[in-house]
Amino acid sequence: MQIHYLEIVTPDADAVCATYAQLHGVSFSDPEPGLGNARTAPLPDGGMVGVRAPMHDAEEPVMRPYLLVDDIEAAAREAVNGGGEIAHPPMELPGHGTFAIFMQGGVQHGLWQR
């Protein structure tokens, strides 16, 4: 199991990026429109962390790990078979891969296919 993308949604993205940069010695990118204007930094295993502001008033702060999968359609089906509920069906983000989100146990879980 590998986290490919760790998404942090917060109303104070600049402060979170500054704290992570200071704590971990990483540099964050400029906002990336294809990732909801997240500012990203690399993770040691080849993944990345992205910090962004909510995209609409109803979006609440969350830290959501996206696990790397080989087949996102199959992984989404297995999540549902395991009792999860799809919150966002698989969707391609050009240049980044395909993601999906499912809910289980009151927690948001992400899936990511490169």
Domain boundaries defined on the chain: 1-61, 69-114
pTM, two decimal places: 0.94
- Taking 3-state DSSP, the helix, strand and coil percentages for the chain, each rounded to the nearest 5, stand at 20, 45, 35
Domain 1-61 belongs to what topology? 3.30.720
- pLDDT per residue, tens digit, the chain (114 aa), is 999 999 999 999 999 999 999 999 999 999 999 999 999 999 998 999 999 999 999 999 999 999 999 999 999 999 999 999 999 999 999 999 999 999 999 999 999 999
Whether 93 and 34 have beta carbons less than 8 Å apart is answered as: yes
pLDDT at 106: 96
The one-letter code for the residue type at 31 is P
Report the pLDDT value the prediction gives residue 62, as an integer from 0 to 100: 97
Question: Are residues 69 and 112 in contact, defined by beta-carbon separation less than 8 angstroms?
Answer: yes
- Domain 69-114 class in CATH: alpha beta
